[in-house]
Amino acid sequence: MIRIALAALLVCMPAMARADDPPVPATVLVAFDSEKIRPLIVEGVADRATGRKVEANDPVRIASISKLIMALATLRLVEEGKVSLDADVSDYLGWELRSPNFPDAKVTLAQLLSHRSGLRDRVDYIIPLGESLRARVSNPEAWFADAPPGEAPFEYANLGSPVVATVLEAATGERYDRLVERTVFAPLGIEACLNWVGCSEERVQRAVVLYRDTGEVARDDAADLPPNCAIPVAEGVECTLDNYVPGTNASIFSPQGGVRIGMIDLARIGQELMREQSQVFPNEMMLPAGEALFAEQSPGQDFFCRYGFHMQIIDDADSPCKDTLFGDGQARLGHAGEAYGLRAGLWFTMEGRQGVAYFTTAVPPRPSAEDEGGFDPREIELMARAQALPAANR
């Protein structure tokens, strides 16, 4: 009997890692409902140079989930009466933003947040300190040529995010990082930041380094963190925000993808969205899905079939979209993140009963540049692992 028990124990034990085995990629997944947050999977190495293991709330660059936070900040400013979703953003910027082929068509925050402004990522959306946002969006290549803003087809474009963030700055006189702190992070008791601006030294030291699947450092190793320069800066320009004028170029905060936040704190944002849907979003733009906020997109969209103000609906059984992550028949709201070998997500059920916030690193790149959207097999496997854990249903 003892031999049998020992044999069973050996079968259950994980194989011993060899010295030449690659480190386990940093992966964190937390589940949440309206009241509780439960870390379910916390594994891997946050910094291979030091061997530091990842912890549940270590801050990581969440890529495009940052857009959801930007939308939330925008809607808070709508509540404050600082901005209007349907106003011409030129009125806030102090200069005229127009599609070159449609000079009489205004551009609005609603269009920008729903990727219907006509802006496209045919020009670089990273605009360093010392360069001009106005000049970048004056390039005809930045615009869809065949339809005006509002009528242009849905096209996911990072370039719209620096425009939105700059509009918010111009309307309030606040730097984008500070207004997000005031309207989103501080009320929820979250310590998070954009491009590490505003995060404490202790928080910076907990940074999750992003690695590519080759093991190459992609972002946020020691050389990429404060006190080194952590914002994009043009050649010959000093890396300081001392003379930055809000409302000129908020691209320096990477609003499209530069939020650094831990998964427990990201889950708090998910809880806020679940608890206060009617307050967070104006009623006329909320559910049912497919109306107003979540407009059906063109048939050519394989991933962003239902997308609104930087929120997406996935896993909808009635949709032909290639967006299955959970596979349990429950549609979910949220946003995905993908950059620098990272995959991440913040998702919660339509009924607001349960959600997850997660990231995993060192994910292989897509097979081709044309392969856009959809979830990586590692993400799908991660969801299956989490759903199989007893703690997932407590």
Rounded Cα–Cα distance for residues 324 and 384 (Å): 12
pLDDT tens figures, 88-123: 999 999 999 999 999 999 999 999 999 999 999 999
Rounded Cα–Cα distance for residues 326 and 96 (Å): 44
pLDDT for the residue numbered 225:
97
pLDDT for the residue numbered 298:
47
Lowest mean pLDDT among 34-38, 39-43, 270-274, 285-289: 285-289
Residue ranges and CATH numbers for the domains of the chain are 22-63+196-230+258-394 (3.40.710.10), 64-192+244-256 (3.40.710.10)
pLDDT greater than 50 at residue 288: no
Lowest mean pLDDT among 48-62, 96-110, 236-250, 277-291: 277-291
- pLDDT band at 369, cuts 50/70/90? low
pLDDT for the residue numbered 373:
72
- pLDDT band at 393, cuts 50/70/90? low
pLDDT greater than 80 at residue 29: yes
- pLDDT band at 319, cuts 50/70/90? confident
Place of tokens 């309206």: 34
Residue 168 CB burial class (10 angstroms; 0-12, 13-18, ≥19)? buried
Rounded Cα–Cα distance for residues 326 and 314 (Å): 9
The residue with greater pLDDT, 327 or 130, is 130
pLDDT greater than 80 at residue 286: no
- pLDDT band at 282, cuts 50/70/90? very low
pLDDT for the residue numbered 372:
65
CB 127 within 8 A of CB 249: yes
pLDDT for the residue numbered 149:
95
- pLDDT band at 367, cuts 50/70/90? confident
Mean pLDDT (whole number) for 51-66: 98
Mean residue pLDDT of the chain comes to: 88
pLDDT greater than 90 at residue 19: no
- pLDDT band at 5, cuts 50/70/90? very low
Mean pLDDT (whole number) for 58-83: 96
Lowest mean pLDDT among 11-15, 306-310, 334-338: 11-15
pLDDT for the residue numbered 371:
64
CB 335 within 8 A of CB 323: no
Mean pLDDT (whole number) for 60-89: 96
Buried b (16+ CB within 10 A) or exposed e, 235-248: eeeeeeeeebebbb
- pLDDT band at 46, cuts 50/70/90? very high
Peptide bond into 22 cis (omega under 30): no
pLDDT greater than 50 at residue 10: no
CB 107 within 8 A of CB 98: yes
Mean pLDDT (whole number) for 193-207: 97
pLDDT greater than 70 at residue 290: no
Rounded Cα–Cα distance for residues 72 and 61 (Å): 18
- pLDDT band at 370, cuts 50/70/90? low
Rounded Cα–Cα distance for residues 132 and 163 (Å): 11
Share of the chain above pLDDT 70, in %: 86
pLDDT greater than 70 at residue 58: yes
The residue with greater pLDDT, 302 or 90, is 90
pLDDT for the residue numbered 303:
82
Rounded Cα–Cα distance for residues 375 and 217 (Å): 22
Measure Cα distances from 128 to 42, 100, 155, 229 in Å: 35, 24, 24, 12
pLDDT for the residue numbered 320:
77
Share of the chain above pLDDT 90, in %: 74
pLDDT greater than 80 at residue 136: yes
pLDDT greater than 60 at residue 49: yes
pLDDT greater than 80 at residue 158: yes
How far does CA 11 lie from the centroid of its chain?
A: 40
Give the CA radius of gyration of the chain: 21
Mean pLDDT (whole number) for 193-203: 97
Concatenated DSSP letters for 295-317? EE--TT-SS-SEE-SS-EEE--T
Find residue 99's DSSP bridge partners. Answer: 102
DSSP-derived 3-state class of residue 357: strand
